[in-house]
Structure 1
């Protein structure tokens, strides 16, 4: 499964849930600065393209 397919599946799932909207790039950059390194690429895409949390177990 590609990253694009995973994002599409997450969007589909998120559509069935009441999740927060996607994060804004500035918030992701701020979180990365706070922890001192970049988020993994796929996680960053989930936050920016699907939902800003609420999608985990």
Structure 2
């Protein structure tokens, strides 16, 4: 199963995207850049979806 990393600082957005994708993909989430970098190292996602404007 392909893995997608969803990076967004808003929990509602992360949850909504995960809900839509979870049946066809393995979905990993992160709420900031540091968590995203760690997830990339550990999870090796096939695709990263990220919010452009994050604190």
TM-score range, shorter chain: 0.3 to 0.5
TM-score (norm 2): 0.34
- Relative to total residues, which structure has the larger strand share, 1 or 2? 2
TM-score (norm 1): 0.33
CA radius of gyration, larger in: 1
- Relative to total residues, which structure has the larger helix share, 1 or 2? 1
